[in-house]
Amino acid sequence: MRRSLKFGAALGATLLLAAGAARADDVKIGIYSEPSAMDPHYHNLGPNNSFSSNIYDALIIQDENQNLTPGLAMSWEPVSDLVWEFKLRKGVKFHDGSDFNADDVMFTSERAPNVPNSPSSFGTYLKGKTFSKVDDFTIRVTTERPYPLMPVDLSTVSIISSDVGADVKTADFNAGPAMIGTGPYKFVEWLPSDRIVLVKNEDYWGEKAAFDKVTMKPIKSNPTRVAALLSGDVDMIDSVPTADIETLKKTDGVTLASGISNRVIYLHMDRFRDNSPFITGTDGKNPLKDLRVRQAISMAINRDAIVSRVMEGIAIPAGQLLPPGFFGTSDKLKPQAYNPKRAKELLAEAGYPNGFGLTIHGPNDRYINDAKIAQAIGQMLTRVGIKTQIETMPKSVYFRSASRGGPNGEPKYSFILVGWGSGTGEASSPLKSLVHTHNKELGFGASNRGRYSNPKTDKLIEDALATVDDTKRAALLAEATEIAISDLAVIPLHYQVNTWATTKGLKYLPRTDERTSLRSLKKQ
Amino acid sequence: MWSYLLRRLVQAALVVAVMATIVFFGVNVIGNPVDILINPDFDQEEMARAIKALGLDKPLHEQFFYFVKNALRGDLGISFVFGEPALKLIIQRMPATLELAFASLFLSIVLGVPLGMYAGLKPDSKFSKTMMAGSILGFSLPTFWVGIMMIMLFAVMLGWLPATGRGETTDLFGIQVSFLTWDGLTHLALPAVNLALTNISLVMRLARAGCKEAALQDYVKFARAKGMSEQRIVLKHILKNIMIPVVTVLGLEFGSLIAFSVVTETVFSWPGMGKLIIESIQVLDRPIIVAYLMMTVLMFVTINLLVDLTYSLLDPRVRLGGAGK
């Protein structure tokens, strides 16, 4: 009897200890966007790719600042202009205990671009690349043209186990059985729109996960997400609304982590129509084709005021397409200074002393404070004589119209507010999509909604994308950026700054790719 | 009776068909989901592939033809966003919403009816007056505001209840429910009260008005003259007679609770159908929008039918099928 009592007490104490320990290492996170599927190859978009990074490794892993670090590949280098060689990491185990080798990479390269019903496939990053296995731990990738972005492109693709079989379906991942990766966390369950549960992978080859169990809860409503943090429902939230940052700063026990992102908010102008649909009072001329008018618009915008008033200080004025310091940016470009007087003079020189009428179109649910930014710009332009109307709309309506809503599938609007996040973390991403001439065959200029076209920048961008040498490529990209900005192909406004909030004991390292990845969540 | 049921069914099928057609074409006018679902790094080739993968490359009338063909076989299409059958996604989230709706219906009845009757029988008491004044706030304050205030008060400031989500669930006949565990109940409390607030007020006012009117009727006076106990008069004669308007209104409101709990589900991050539909509308996930609205129509038709049937049980004077044959 006494013995069993003692035993009971000991057991109770152990249980208590275990419960205490479990609580300390269990973390709940309120996330703004829920992934649309667990399948890492189904939907190539931010929320899904962020989530996959917890369960899966890529050959190369982007760190907080989007620098490339070894993942499942120990090293990589071009062996010729057209062939890259990847040496794979040995001794890596999948979550089911099986070994990782080149067959898994081959299998992934087959599956990733070909998932049925995918609304956005990894074909974007894997197209034109032929994979071949040299031995169990060496892979070669061949392209038809020299291709410097190989490491960046492959850093986007999660490597899955070949054991799941070629006919594995997205539903098999969503339900769990196929969720076998090599990453720092293992998958437990996904209850759609309720929670995703992960546990620590004790056998991880790299830096081990900081927490034993993590529950991610999608909370889209901004005030609710903040309230969930304050009430202790969750220990961390992402996408902290700018309006709440001041309050949270003063709250005991809450730590904010802010970091500049790779996303620039910018204005795109109609450069291809003489009679632009949303410009009035110019007798059918398109003033946006005149450099002086574009300069006037850029000078009329008080970027500091937008940052301090509209963005509550949580943004950084922009002078180019990607914050300085990223690969291929220019160190010469500074944000345009506010100069309404000179703006008026330039308008008069261009033949519009009385200004003209313009409508700015923008989304109201895509970027931080997007509709308010459009309103501020409208007022600033009206002040220098460009009578600006503001029209904002949901992203579901906006983006199709902005890209191809015109009568012949051309962009519909004259003057738009948009944002661009450089997924690859280097300057070729915005240059290729926003500045290069719209060209279906080359696949360039796909988001060039102003249809800007300049043979000089086109040539520099194409040359850069065929230059494997990093130093030379960086110089070419910087030069292309300088020409594009001096010609105001787009008018950059500011870089977004993202904020995460954690409570005591947690520390988040802000990521430039805006992701909420458990790889960046540490103990304090 | 049977011809009546048959007629109602044909009507219902017609409404569903018309509604599906309108929504199907309507969503297409708004925009194209591909533009927001695609990775911004796309090139023109990937854009064309994605449009084709979602079946949006075909002319609209052809898409509609396939939709109708599959719908007749019970397949309402595959979600553009999730890549799984729309119907499956909706049904997956249905228990959460139903639970919330039933909880809130329950609250409306157990709080609304007694409070309203009390106010009707004792109209001059201070308590009645306070409750009636409160009921005006109950249905005039916007749900989302009340929801956020409730979160601020009970979750953030007092720390009594959790702010979001559904909490622990248990399996009941194969359905996940949360009202059987303490954790689940605490999660259910705030959203259920929030969703019920309007209906509690509504039921209170209905019960009060009905009660006041019934108390003056001859049958009540007669019962009282017969020397029946007050309790029996209230419970047997008055209660039964005021239930008819209450059942009608609650029947209709129940449909709304299920179909349009969008606001409450969004504010409390409740993983139900309302959250699914609002997020699907934001990204123009047509298969889900169409399937959801078709189900909503079906549900309303069914509820209306049930209300009519309940009538005939509560009030023998009501005969189904119109003419009293």
SS3 call for A421: strand
Contacts of A223 in chain B (CB under 8 A): 148, 151, 267
Q: Is the pLDDT of residue B126 over 90?
A: no
Q: Is the pLDDT of residue A160 over 60?
A: yes
Q: Pick left, alpha or beta for residue A79 (phi over 0 → left; psi -120 to 50 → alpha; otherwise beta).
A: alpha
State the first-to-last Cα distance of chain A, in angstroms, to the nearest integer: 46
Both tokens of B89, joined, read 């996604």
Contacts of A420 in chain B (CB under 8 A): 40
CA dihedral of A90, A92, A94, A96, whole degrees rounded to 10: 100
Q: Is the pLDDT of residue A242 over 80?
A: yes
Cα–Cα distance between A190 and A97 in angstroms, integer?
22
Mean local confidence (pLDDT), B214-228 = 80
Cβ–Cβ below 8 Å for B151 and A219: no
Cβ–Cβ below 8 Å for A446 and B42: yes
Q: Pick left, alpha or beta for residue B174 (phi over 0 → left; psi -120 to 50 → alpha; otherwise beta).
A: left
Q: In chain A, pLDDT over 70 holds for what percent of residues? A: 95
> E-strand spans in B189-303?
none
Of A125, A170, A399, the CB nearest to B35: A399
Closest CA to A233 of A210, A209, A216: A216
φ, ψ for residue A296 (rounded to 5)? Answer: -60, -45
Q: Is the pLDDT of residue A4 over 70?
A: no
Mean local confidence (pLDDT), B203-217 = 85
Answer for the pair A384, A300: CB distance below 8 angstroms, yes or no.
yes
Q: Which chain B residue is nearest to residue A41, measuring alpha carbons?
A: B83
Predicted local distance difference test score (pLDDT) of residue B318: 67
Cβ–Cβ below 8 Å for A192 and B89: yes
Both tokens of B257, joined, read 């609770």
Q: Is the pLDDT of residue A137 over 50?
A: yes
Mean local confidence (pLDDT), B197-224 = 85
List, for residues A385-408, the tens digit of each pLDDT value: 999 999 999 988 899 899 988 888
Quote the mean pLDDT of chain B: 84
Contacts of B284 in chain A (CB under 8 A): 396
> Residue type at B49?
R
Under the banding of pLDDT at 50, 70 and 90, the label for residue A339 is very high
Cβ–Cβ below 8 Å for A120 and B50: yes
Using a CB cutoff of 8 Å and minimum separation of 24, what contacts does A121-124 make?
Answer: A121/A41, A121/A44, A121/B46, A121/B49, A121/B50, A121/B53, A122/A41, A122/A44, A122/A156, A122/A157, A123/B45, A123/B46, A123/B49, A124/A44, A124/B39, A124/B41, A124/B42, A124/B43, A124/B46
Cβ–Cβ below 8 Å for A396 and B164: no
Of B151, B275, B283, the CB nearest to A227: B151
Cα–Cα distance between B174 and B61 in angstroms, integer?
40
Q: Is the pLDDT of residue A515 over 70?
A: yes
Average the pLDDT over each of A213-222, B93-102, B149-158, B176-185 and give the range with the smallest value. Answer: B176-185
Q: Is the pLDDT of residue A471 over 80?
A: yes
Interface of A with B in 119-148 (CB under 8 A): 119-121, 123-125, 127
Under the banding of pLDDT at 50, 70 and 90, the label for residue A9 is very low
Contacts of A45 in chain B (CB under 8 A): 37-39
Cα–Cα distance between A511 and A509 in angstroms, integer?
6
Per the DSSP assignment, residues forming a β-bridge with A254 are A503
SS3 call for A54: helix
- SS3 of A440-467: the string is CCCCECCCCCCCCCCHHHHHHHHHHCCC
Cα–Cα distance between B62 and B25 in angstroms, integer?
12
Alpha helices in A155-270, H assignment, sequence order: 170-175, 222-230, 245-250
Under the banding of pLDDT at 50, 70 and 90, the label for residue A236 is very high
Predicted local distance difference test score (pLDDT) of residue A375: 96
Under the banding of pLDDT at 50, 70 and 90, the label for residue A10 is very low
Predicted local distance difference test score (pLDDT) of residue B319: 64
Answer for the pair B30, B284: CB distance below 8 angstroms, yes or no.
yes
Cα–Cα distance between A194 and A216 in angstroms, integer?
9
Mean local confidence (pLDDT), B150-163 = 88
Under the banding of pLDDT at 50, 70 and 90, the label for residue A414 is very high
Cα–Cα distance between A415 and A14 in angstroms, integer?
66
Of B30, B271, B282, the CB nearest to A193: B271
Q: Which of B82, B94, B152, B276 to mutate to test the interface with A (most CBs of A within 10 A)?
A: B82
Q: Is the pLDDT of residue A5 over 80?
A: no
Cβ–Cβ below 8 Å for A124 and B39: yes
**pTM of the predicted model, to two decimals?**
0.86
Cβ–Cβ below 8 Å for B84 and A170: yes
Contacts of A461 in chain B (CB under 8 A): none
Quote the mean pLDDT of chain A: 91
Q: Is the pLDDT of residue A19 over 60?
A: no
Under the banding of pLDDT at 50, 70 and 90, the label for residue B320 is low
CA dihedral of A377, A379, A385, A387, whole degrees rounded to 10: 90
> Residue type at A93?
K
Cβ of B41 under 8 Å from any chain A Cβ?
yes
Average the pLDDT over each of A153-162, A204-213, B246-255 and give the range with the smallest value. Answer: B246-255
Q: Is the pLDDT of residue A17 over 60?
A: no
List C-alpha distances in Å: A122 to A41, A108, A156, A278, A324. Answer: 7, 11, 8, 36, 28
Predicted local distance difference test score (pLDDT) of residue B321: 56
Q: Which of A51, A122, A124 to mutate to test the interface with B (most CBs of B within 10 A)?
A: A124
Query: Element (H or E) spanning B309, and its range?
Result: helix B286-314
Both tokens of B199, joined, read 């209906």
Cβ of B93 under 8 Å from any chain A Cβ?
yes
CA dihedral of A291, A292, A293, A294, whole degrees rounded to 10: 50
Predicted local distance difference test score (pLDDT) of residue B133: 85
